[in-house]
Amino acid sequence: ELGTGLNTRFERTDNGTAHWIDLDLPDTIELRRRFFADTGRRQMLAASLLDEDWLPAVEQRPGPYFFVADGVLAYLREEDVTGMLARIAGRFPGAMIAFDTVTRASTGQELKMAAKRDVAPWQWACDDPRSLERLGLRLIESVPVTRPPAGLRAELPARYRYLLPLGDPIFGKRGLSLNLFQAG
């Protein structure tokens, strides 16, 4: 998980055999260590996802590989995002990569709001996830955040299944999408 923050995705999705790496900046990993511990199947790495020094640690783990970047890429510059995605695609053929994208229109709105709230602005936008296929990725699926795939939607509690479409006027206009790619 790239830019893991304090996410508990491993605890929520572990099938008992997964090998997991939580990757984030050193100060965030230091905070994570107050709540989580490394195990034989889970390792926390303190590194920038923009660097390459963490890639060998991933390669040492058995495949298949599935990379997740949730809520982090929009804060990075376009050349950093595309460089990182191209590195993953080149080093892990066949790997699955899931991440969210926001449109340029939503990034412009967020930039105005970030200035008012004194928070980090979004920098990277992607109007068409298919445009990332030039990096060695193949788009498998892209869905608005309010319209998850049927299989995932069926797993959600009933209240979320019914409430998600109500978010379309807000989130649909912002162009928030969930995307699944395959490398190579």
Please state, for a pLDDT cut of 90, what percent of the chain lies above it.
64
Residue 162 has pLDDT above 80, yes or no: no
Spans of all domains in the chain = 9-183
DSSP-derived secondary structure for 77-109: -HHHHHHHHHHHHHHSTT-EEEEEE--HHHHHH
Residue 155 has pLDDT above 60, yes or no: yes
pLDDT digits (tens, 9 = 90+) for 12-52: 889 999 999 999 999 999 999 999 999 999 999 999 999 99
pLDDT digits (tens, 9 = 90+) for 106-139: 766 666 665 667 667 778 999 999 999 999 999 9
Contact 111, 75 (CB under 8 A): no
Which amino acid would we find at residue 47? A
- Which pLDDT does position 146 carry in this prediction? 77
- Which pLDDT does position 143 carry in this prediction? 84
CATH numeric code, 9-183: 3.40.50.150
Residue 170 has pLDDT above 70, yes or no: no
pTM for the whole thing?
0.85
- Which pLDDT does position 171 carry in this prediction? 63
Residue 149 has pLDDT above 80, yes or no: no
Contact 89, 82 (CB under 8 A): no
On average, the pLDDT of the chain sits at: 88
In this predicted model, which residue has the larger pLDDT, 183 or 171?
183
Residue 71 has pLDDT above 60, yes or no: yes
Q: Exposed/middle/buried for 46, CB within 10 Å: 0-12, 13-18, 19+?
A: middle
